[in-house]
Each structure stands twice: as structure tokens, then as C-alpha cells.
Amino acid sequence: MKFVQIIGFETERLDEMQQLLQEAGQRNAGRAGGPTHRMLLKDRDKPHHYLALLEFDSYDEAMRNSDDPETSKLAEQLGALSIGERVYTNCDVLESGELK
């Protein structure tokens, strides 16, 4: 079953975060077990508030990814650029598809 983790966070340093994420994506390109899809959303009603959606093939894949030392290092770097605590929501995907 597909799994999505939603991470809510606030930052005034989004450009720096995006640079770190781009570099991590290049390092991890082609690596098995990482996210299969990602999306970054900006909250229109709350300045500096964002949501990151990360899709994985399964919950187990997501947990293996979380245990990876590179993921821990990236999370620490991103945390240093955040304001306050990040909020994690873990979701099993029950239905998905494009609407036309």
C-alpha cells in the first residue's frame, strides 16, 4: 500500500531549504527505497507556512528511508532552517488518481 508523509513547517529561509533538497535529490538519484513523488505546498493564508508531501511505495520503505543516516542529516539541516517544530502526519493512501 502506498504511503504519504506530510510535514508541516514554517521557515523564512525557503530558498536555502530548497537548495539542500535539490542537492540531496541529486545525491540520491536512482537510489531504491526513497520517495517516489514529492510535492511542496505554500499555505496561502499563513505566511512562511509550508507542507511537504512525500510519497513512498510503502510504509516499510518510508521507515527504511527514515533510518538512513543521510536522511537524518538532511532532517537536521532542514530543522535548523525551520521556525518552531515540524508537524508530521503519516497516511496510508486509500485512493489516488488524476482527475480530468
pLDDT in tens, 18-34: 998 888 878 776 677 78
Count of all residues that appear for the chain in the document: 100
Q: What pLDDT does residue 27 have?
A: 77
Rounded to an integer, the average pLDDT of 89-97 is: 95
The closest alpha carbon to 3, from 44, 45, 64, 49, belongs to 64
d(CA 24, CA 22): 5
Cell of 4: 504519504
Q: What pLDDT does residue 4 have?
A: 97
pTM for this entry: 0.86
